Amino acid sequence: MTTILRKYGYRFHFYSAEPDGERPHIHVDGHGGKSKFWLDDLTMSWQIGLNKREVSKIEKAIKEHRSELLERWNEQHG
């Protein structure tokens, strides 16, 4: 598990053994919840235990750091 970013009390990370061919995404943990967001279209795949305000903060952070997240995804998963 590679942590890419910490912001607003959330940890944004990739798993090292992601399924082959799965499109770029980021996992986010924090404040008692978890989620997964697709990086290509900035949509949420799923979430557990997060309210709308928390999801909005996560979306904002992903938008702000999207280029870095995609670059790191490509470095790790090519």
Per-residue pLDDT of 24-72, as tens digits, reads 999 999 999 999 999 999 999 999 999 999 999 999 999 999 999 999 9
| pLDDT classification of 8: cutoffs 50, 70, 90 | very high
Task: Decide: 16 and 25 in contact? Cβ < 8 Å.
Answer: no
pLDDT at 19 over 90: no
Using alpha carbons only, what angle is made at residue 48 by residues 46 and 51, rounded to the nearest 5 degrees?
100
What pLDDT is stored for residue 17 in this prediction? 79
The pTM (predicted TM-score) of the whole model is 0.93
Classified as helix, coil or strand, 13 is: strand
- Spell out a b/e string for 8-47, using b for 16 or more CB atoms within 10 Å of the CB, else e: eebebbbeeeeeeeeebbbbbebeebbbebebeeeebeeb
